[in-house]
Amino acid sequence: MEKEKKQKAISRMKELSEILQKASKAYYQEDREIMSNLEYDRLYDELVCLEDETQMVLAGSPTVSVGYEAVDELPKETHESPMLSLDKTKDREVLRGFVGNHKTLLSWKMDGLTIVLTYRDGKLQKAVTRGNGVIGEVVTNNARVFDNIPHKIPYRGELILRGEAIITYSEFEKINCMIEDVDARYKNPRNLCSGSVRQLNNEITAKRHVRFYAFALVKADDVDFQNSRQCQMEWLKEQGFEIVEYRVVNADTLDEAMEYFAENIQQNDFPSDGLVALYDDIAYGDSLGRTAKFPRNAFAFKWADEMAETTLEEIEWSPSRTGLINPVAIFTPVELEGSTVSRASVHNVSIMRKLELGIGDTIRVYKANMIIPQIGENLTRSGVKEIPTICPACQGPTSIEMVNDVESLYCRNPECPAKAIKGFTLFVSRDAMNIDGLSEATLEKFIGKGFIHEFGDIFEIGKYKDEIVQMEGFGEKSFRNLMESIEKAKNTELPRVIYALGIPNIGLANAKVICREFGYDIEKIRNLTEEELAEIDGIGPVIARSFVEYFAKAGRKEVIDHLLSHLQLKAVPQVNENQKFTGINFVITGNVNHFANRNEVKTEIEKRGGKVTGSVTSKTNYLINNDVASGSSKNKKAKELGIPIISEEDFIRMLEEQ
């Protein structure tokens, strides 16, 4: 298809998808009709014809259905070529020197999560995060539900491209508005995007409306790009990808383009922390090579920080899990980079002294990289007056220590609950006690105020109602929702409780095995010996030792008794008499067709005494993968080790065998 005709077709496909989605939603979710069946079918058929004509299927097309799937982990994968950071500057003249007389593409430096996509035979095969630049996480299932990634493209060779996954400001605000607890809200769109892209359940990703913008083509053999990065970008657009907006510049036209970007950044609905300059000439850029840290064919420009003057109202001391007590500056709210800020970390006592921070001082604040609030300057410098001598979390003694030439305040109490914040966070998590409304930030706040010292205290938090409803981000409704969630959590299963305790090396799967082996008898379980545990297949001496040592620690019995006094443990689950998979280890990968998700397959295996692990090892007995012939890393490993790769149908036949 000629270029103009193709772009019109793509535009019409987007329009049709939106119309048909609205019609489906009205009919199936809202019980109303906004068009006749005849009209719907006519538009649907038009979309199918356009998809056949362009050999392209865009994200959100009603002609495809992307199933939701939960996974146990995100596999790691090494990138074919390292993804280097870019050298950067805040000086326009330095950037001009880099551009020189070269034709250069100047584009937004989007602030999200970099993703590498691989397409083969016109279909998305793989999506991997940047990670540390060498090794990333495989997020293919999640990428399939991004709002704008094409599911099918015309090009049939292997295509590898890079781009930025982002969540818009408007979507970020919409999601945060649904979270009543202010402390549980996401700090910025980048954090939200990172968490959304790396979800284990892609149904959650789909609800976050992640978008992908291509910024670099890595590989597309047998395509003549005329030695031009611009040609590559336009070709990616023809394949159905949204690309990062760019301007073609040289040293003489740089100012005009930069003014355009500077004017538009305030109106943009997406986060950006600067610009990227990339030489158009592919061969020339590649010939420059790279330094130890940066490629030489590209350069980043970071925006100068916007400063605002305000008044320091308070220093809040926040205990952390390391014992470090961090000073946080609370100041009169100011507008910075389009949002209101009222607090900034000061990091340590040395910085406080250097800034001579005192209550009532006039300070200048900014957002580092337009994101993280920082104190840039203290104009009045009245001096540091008081540093706490007791920890706000446990009332234990504090001391100032010099570590690497930096003065910091520490809590000296080894039993300070603030040091166990990760343990409390695990305790309330979904697979453990599943208590909504207790984010890590909220837990830190409650612990800092002395409301929580041990797990059982969480179920007694109601006695602090008067104080909690007055806290920032809490009101009567939030408190009521929290109490309902805590009440619901009281009715639980013993494996969840064992896992929630945070015993080293004990995950939910091991907790289930131990509970099943010893009849769900909590008294017996917490008095087990290393020898008794070591007799369980899959429980080695390290796990057995950490389990026994946990329950043997002084004071632990009282803590657990206190917790159990608030819980109603569910009846012991009925064990399937057919334990045909005892001693057999499975790995499950890929999509499933006959079960709702892979967790259902896992449940069927565990009911019959089997075990499901996340990676293929010499101890694996079967790999379940509907794509038996795929070249995935798990399939390759299974073949190397001589492990049978079975389909879902094969597994179902195994279930049916007596």
Contact 165, 212 (CB under 8 A): yes
Q: Ramachandran region of residue 60, left (φ > 0), alpha (ψ -120 to 50) or beta?
A: left
Q: Which of 432, 477, 433, 427 is nearest to 447 (CA)?
A: 427
The whole-number pLDDT of residue 337 equals: 67
In this prediction, residue 285 carries a pLDDT of 94
Alpha helices in 324-420 (DSSP H): 349-355
Query: What is the predicted pLDDT for the residue at 247?
Result: 96
> Residue 194: helix, strand or coil by DSSP?
helix
β-partners of residue 89 are: 301
| Whole-number Å distance between alpha carbons of 418 and 445 | 9
Cα 213 to Cα 472: distance, rounded to the nearest angstrom = 37
**Residue 104 dihedral angles phi and psi, to the nearest 5°:** -130, 140
pTM across the whole model: 0.49
Q: Tell me, what amino acid is at 120?
A: R
pLDDT confidence of residue 37: 56
Do residues 28 and 73 lie in contact, with contact meaning Cβ atoms separated by under 8 Å? no
Q: Which amino acid is at 164?
A: E
Residue pair 84/290 in contact by the 8 Å Cβ criterion: yes
Taking Cα atoms as reference points, which of 620, 615, 610, 611 lies closest to residue 641? 620
pLDDT at residue 633 in the model:
79
Of 14, 81, 26, 55, nearest in space to 295 by CA: 81
Quote the CA–CA distance of 190 and 186 in Å, as a whole number: 9
- Identify the sign of the CA torsion 183, 188, 189, 190: negative
Look at the block and give the residue holding tokens 């041990």: 454
Q: Which residues are catalytic?
A: 109
The pLDDT score that the predictor gives to residue 183 is 47
Residue 37: C-alpha distances to residues 44, 47, 50 (Å): 10, 15, 20
Q: Residue 71: what pLDDT? A: 57
Helices (H), 528-630: 530-534, 541-552, 556-564, 598-607
Q: How far is CA 62 from CA 12, 32, 66, 157, 214, in A?
A: 14, 18, 10, 26, 24
- DSSP single-letter state for residue 60: T
Position 90 scores a pLDDT of 81
Query: Are the C-beta atoms of 88 and 274 separated by less than 8 Å?
Result: yes
List Cβ neighbours of 545 (8 Å cut-off, separation of 6 or more). Answer: 530
- The residues that bridge with 104 in the sheet, in sequence order, are 249, 279
- 137 close to 76: Cβ distance less than 8 angstroms: yes
- Beta-strand ranges (E) seen in 280-323 are 298-302, 307-319
Q: Which residue has the tokens 């289930």?
A: 512
The low-confidence residues of the chain, meaning pLDDT below 70, are: 1, 25-39, 41, 65-73, 179-185, 266, 292, 304-305, 321-322, 337-338, 368-371, 404, 537-538, 573-578, 658
Strands 298-302 and 272-279: antiparallel
> How many helices (H) does the chain have, and how many strands (E)?
24, 24
Do residues 409 and 325 make contact, with C-beta atoms less than 8 angstroms apart? yes
Strands (E), 404-446: 406-411
**Residue 186: per-residue pLDDT:** 75
d(CA 123, CA 142): 15
Which amino acid does the sequence have at 264? N
C-beta separation of 486 from 457 below 8 A: no
Q: What is the DSSP letter of 183?
A: G
